[in-house]
Amino acid sequence: MTITAPKGFRAAGVKAGIKASGNPDLALVVNDGPQKSAAAVFTSNRVAAAPVHWSRQVVSDGRVDAVVLNSGGANACTGPQGFQNTHATAEKVAEVLGVSASDVVVCSTGLIGEQLPMDKILPGVDAAFRELSEDGGSAAATAIMTTDSVSKEAVFTGTDAQGKEFTVGGIAKGAGMLAPGLATMLVVLTTDAEVPANELDVVLRDAARVTFDRADSDGCMSTNDTVVLLASGASEALPSAEQLSEAVTSVCAELARKLIGDAEGASHDIAIRTFNAASERDAEIVSRSVARSNLFKAAIFGKDPNWGRVLSAVGTTDAVFEADQLNVAMNGVQICRNGAIGDDRNLVDLEPREVLVEIDLQAGDAEATIWTNDLTHDYVHENSAYSS
């Protein structure tokens, strides 16, 4: 059920002492091959953390031997010293594993603007190395948690044309700051399929575009987002691009769903589906505009089917539609018809955690869904108290 489900991988998660809480805070994932191909996508935030700058370089040649991840500190906005600390972490991993530092991806998550305690990180790498095991994936998933209430793992097993099985596994962390071009989200995906790095890259980008990129918890974009996919080739399976894409997208979708389901302080998970749009881009911007409306999100928290706030968010976009042709349904009740009052809003049941908002643009046949959360007292509480 995790990243060590695919053959050819070992992982570990340990307590390095970075977190004041004493919880696990350092993870190591190693690809034992025979293949070492890899791809990754990173935050599009121009204020990117030191480990993002480092790891972009590492992945650029399509080979990765190991990924080291720490929680308890983002190592973002930490200047030259921060970059040196990322480099030193990679060197330490390279030393214990006998690989090149230039093949070690580094990920960090936690508070921005503080230097990492290297006197904890480096011994932590030693400890993680000693703990590496073929069933260490779940320990790694636990060690990357920050405000997550549960660890997130997923797995998918497929079959290639010759009937050989291959597996894709994943772990993820992230509970706030979920947004466009990813979110404070660290994701490690593994597969034992035999896939060249350039093909991994295409498959990963396509999967991220329709999963992580459409999970938009609070519209904020992290400095540290990293999604890395490693292939060991240990199953000797040779899935087609479609077969691999199905497996990777499935794992990414499950992880994205778990991230939204555990978003900080949320009491509702909201899917905003826009359909009959002139283009997929139109459908996406309309759904995202609603997902970013604090007024709409607060209304859902209050179990108030306030479709006026949906329409006012739709009206700020440049998508193709006529205001007097918009239809909105909430949990199956058509509360807005042709831009005006539809069925009785009191028929909408917002007691369940799951909410489905459907927006009909009557302008074409494209659609897209954005997943978000409601805006709650607990969101405010957690995010006003996070660094203090």
Report d(CA 63, CA 194) in Å as an integer. 13
Kindly list the distances between the CA atom of residue 140 and the CA atoms of 38, 111, 125, 128, 178, in Å, as whole numbers in the listed order: 19, 20, 12, 9, 21
Nearest to 104 by CA among 132, 68, 149: 68
When the beta carbons of 130 and 353 are compared against its own copies, the nearer one is 353
264 marked among binding-site residues? yes
For the bound state, the minimum distance from the C-beta of residue 18 to its own copies, rounded and expressed in Å, comes to 17
Q: Among the candidate windows 12-20, 131-139, 150-158, 321-329, which touches its own copies by CB under 8 A?
A: 321-329
Amino acid identity of 339? Answer: G
The tokens describing 348, both together, are 């909408």
* Listed ranges 96-104, 195-203, 214-222, 254-262: which one lies at the site for its own copies (CB under 8 A): 214-222
Tell me if 278 contacts its own copies by CB under 8 A. no
**Binder among 32, 114, 280, 343 for its own copies (CB under 8 A):** 114
Q: Pick the stretch among 7-15, 25-33, 190-198, 337-345 that binds its own copies (CB under 8 A).
A: 337-345
> Any contact of residue 20 with its own copies (CB under 8 A)?
no
Catalytic residue chosen out of the listed positions 89, 184, 223, 369:
184
How do beta strands 66-70 and 37-42 pair?
unpaired
Q: How many whole angstroms separate alpha carbon 156 and alpha carbon 169? A: 6
Tally helices (H) and strands (E) across the chain. 10, 15
Q: Kindly list the distances between the CA atom of residue 217 and the CA atoms of 111, 183, 223, 299, in Å, as whole numbers in the listed order.
A: 18, 9, 16, 15
**211 labelled catalytic:** no
Return d(Cα 208, Cα 192) in angstroms, integer: 20
- For residue 77, state whether it binds its own copies (rule: CB under 8 A): yes
Q: Per the annotation, where are the binding residues?
A: 146, 173, 184, 264, 383, 388
Q: Per the annotation, where are the binding residues for substrate?
A: 146, 173, 184, 264, 383, 388
Residue numbers annotated as active site: 184
Residues of this chain that interact with its own copies (CB under 8 A) are: 44-48, 74, 76-79, 81-82, 111-115, 176-177, 180, 218-223, 292-295, 298-299, 301-304, 306-309, 311-317, 321, 323-324, 326, 336, 338-341, 345, 375-377, 379-381, 383-388
